[in-house]
Amino acid sequence: MFVALKTGFSDGIKLRVSDERLGYSDTAVATLCYTLQWFSLILTLAVLVCALEARPQYMDLIPNARNVVDCDGEKSPGVGHYNPQGTGANNAFGSDFALAGRKWTEAFCNQDSDLDGLSNGEELGDPDCVWRVGEKPSRTDKISHPGKFVASHHTDR
């Protein structure tokens, strides 16, 4: 008996299913394993793409997230990522944000994610850690990147 299995490829894969009385055939098992490996790979890649993409909605959960600049003074919308555009792996600030439950907590605000001597709150205009979602931060100028050490920003304060 033969069964056609659709895998999404241009040609179907035919499985040879043997009856126990005729002797065991591992063709079906091998084909099934091969198909599951492809499915697992595609699923893993899909999950990684989703996990590594920036989340613009997170910008509203961080004070002045839309005003963060990188070393060149350019806007850096991917404040939680190594890539300034917000794709790829998280930087230390992004990892700390995830550990804080993706919330601006007092502990996360007081943290120094990039180990540059300034707290996340100082870099993002909330030095007293009182900002709440929807409110205007106490400072909106001289905003620096909490995930990257930017020496020039530290001399201006």
Give the separation between CA 156 and CA 141, rounded to whole angstroms.
Answer: 11
For the whole prediction, is pTM greater than 0.75? no
pLDDT tens, 130-154?
A: 999 999 999 999 999 999 876 655 5
Q: Check: CB of residue 124 under 8 Å from CB of residue 118.
A: no
129 has pLDDT over 70: yes
pLDDT in tens, 31-55: 766 777 877 777 666 655 544 455 6
Rounded CA-CA distance 114/149 in Å is: 6
Of the pLDDT bands very low, low, confident and very high (cuts 50, 70, 90), residue 122 is very high
CA dihedral 47, 60, 117, 128 (to 10 degrees): -140
According to the model, what pLDDT value does residue 57 have?
82
Of 29 and 17, which is predicted with more confidence?
Answer: 29
